Amino acid sequence: MLKIEHLGIAVKNIEQSNGLFSKLFNKAPYKLEKVESEGVSTSFFMIGESKIELLEATNPDSAIAKFIEKKGEGIHHIAFEVQDIYAEMERLKKEGFTLLNEQPKKGADNKLICFLHPKSSNGVLIELCQEIRG
């Protein structure tokens, strides 16, 4: 793993949350994006070398909608940048981690992504992400 790529925060209303976090960080998000396959709207803030991703559910069956229903708004996941997502997924599977998807999926911010089941990582949802190249 190369670095923490971003922290994902589940929010009920991304427009209101963008206003709140814009005041907190004294800057606007640098990117707004919908990820239809995941049922979310996202926004990204750059803070130094770190990113914060806000996630709002766009349908009631999405993982973010279920998370907010169960736990309320708050930190949803920690994403780590990896050099080779396929190799890292294979390595982690061999180490006994449970992957939530067998193949990487296209995520927000030009990334290939894969999540680890929180039951295999002390209750923390871990996202692996690799920049889409080419």
Going along 16-107, which residue ranges are E strands? 31-35, 40-47, 50-57, 74-81, 105-107
- Tokens for 129, please give them: 């992400």
- Cα gap 6→117, rounded to integer Å: 18
What does the pLDDT read at residue 80?
97
What does the pLDDT read at residue 131?
96
- Could you identify the residue written with the tokens 């998000």? 29
What does the pLDDT read at residue 99?
98
> 71 by DSSP, 3-state: which?
helix
Measured in Å, how far apart are the chain's first and last C-alpha atoms? 21
What does the pLDDT read at residue 96?
97
- pLDDT 10s per residue in the chain (134 long)? 999 999 999 999 999 999 999 999 999 999 999 999 899 999 999 999 999 999 999 999 999 999 999 999 999 999 999 999 999 999 999 999 999 999 999 999 999 999 999 999 999 999 999 999 87
What does the pLDDT read at residue 134?
74
pTM summary value: 0.94
